[in-house]
Amino acid sequence: MIYSFATSWIKTLLPSGLTLKWYSQLITNADFTSALVRSFGLGFLTTVIALICFLPVVFYANVYNPQVKSRLRFITVLPFTIPGIILVTGLIQLYADLPIPKLLILVLAISLLSLPLTYQALDNAFIGRDFRAMFEQALVLGDSPFKAFLKVIMPNIRAGILVAMLLTFTSAFGEYVLTNILLGGNFETLKIYMYRLMQSNGQASSVLTTIYFVFLALVSLILIVIMQRYAAPHHSKQEDTKR
């Protein structure tokens, strides 16, 4: 971080001066802007697809069929056991001759790899409340299953959904192996751009690394605040129950 502000720091104990020149050069660089937009787009698409695919499954497992949760836990561990290089090699061989955009393959593959984070965050949101009774009461009162899900289930798991979104987004935002091998220079994300800078400009690379870690720190802070706010009502309810 100090090096990213240094005018020069080669043979001295401290930098010879401080400047914001490297930050202004990086921010105004068109390559940086394009890489940032691609990373945000990749993170957004992955997050949307992951929630659309996994949220109904987690809802069904917790409300209608709790026995299937043991199988889901086993499935969610599988992405940790498959190295990224093996996965992307298999994807290239499988879809090489099919007219499917590689970007779509990349988004779906990252969504699958984010399954452990997404599933655990969503599953935790269903702990501690009788969602089945709440859902059935909404149906008895005349709501359709879709309306009952939106009006009763979603508001009560919004903290878990937000945590799942942030975890999935940061996972896709910082993905390097799949993106680099599957698309290479045709789709330069922030991580690929960062690696290219490391080979050419040390100070610009330090600037980008600092910005990236600040971004991760902000996401972590948001997660901590969400979990604290989510835990506070549950703690107060437990205290009221004991009284």
- pLDDT by residue (tens digit) across 19-56? 788 788 888 888 888 988 988 998 899 999 989 988 99
Number of domains in the chain: 1
* Mean confidence (pLDDT) of the chain: 81
Residue 240 domain flag: no
Residue 238 domain flag: no
Residue 243 domain flag: no
Residue 180 domain flag: yes
pLDDT confidence tier of residue 126, bands split at 50, 70 and 90: confident
How is residue 195 written in tokens? 């690696």
Domain that holds residue 182: 2-230
- Rounded Cα distance between 20 and 139, Å, is 59
Residue 239 domain flag: no
The CATH number given to whatever domain includes residue 16 is 1.10.3720.10
Is residue 232 pLDDT above 70, yes or no?
Answer: no
- Rounded Cα distance between 62 and 56, Å, is 10
How is residue 73 written in tokens? 């836990």
Residue 236 domain flag: no
Residue 242 domain flag: no
Residue 91 domain flag: yes
With CA atoms as reference, report the closest residue to 175 among 96, 241, 113: 113
